[in-house]
Amino acid sequence: MSEAMSFTAAGIAERDAAILDFEDSWFTSSSPKDQAIMEAFGCSSARYYQQLNALLDQPEALAYKPLLVKRLRRLRSQRQAARSARRLH
């Protein structure tokens, strides 16, 4: 069964908005990030990061939290470049 998706006024799915909000403020949690992810979303950190990574490519995410999405995209690009450089050596 599929759940009905709810959207925010910004046009982004509520769960996607919650992921971006969490990523923007997880460091204020007293629990380790993996534990906070499980508590907030009921999924593994691997699944959370898969969803976050896919979300970074959506224009709605950029419109909702532009500074966060741009920063995370930049970090992702840096990690990809570092992996590519390691493969060349």
pTM: 0.82
Is 49 inside any structural domain?
A: yes
Gap between the Cα atoms of 3 and 13, Å rounded: 12
Condensed to tens digits (0 to 9), the pLDDT of residues 13-40 reads 999 999 999 999 988 888 999 999 999 9
**Total of domains in the chain:** 1
| Of 58, 51, 46, 43, the residue nearest 19 (C-alpha) | 51
Residue 54 lies in a domain: yes
Residue 5 lies in a domain: no
Asked whether residue 4 is domain-assigned, the answer is no
Residue 48 lies in a domain: yes
Contacts of 15 (CB under 8 A, 6+ apart): 5, 41
Q: Is residue 32 part of a domain?
A: yes
Q: Which residues are 13's β-sheet partners?
A: 7
Q: State the Cα–Cα distance between residues 39 and 49, nearest whole angstrom.
A: 15
Task: Give the pLDDT confidence of 43-63 residue by residue, as tens digits.
Answer: 999 999 999 999 999 999 999
74 lies in which domain range?
Answer: 14-86
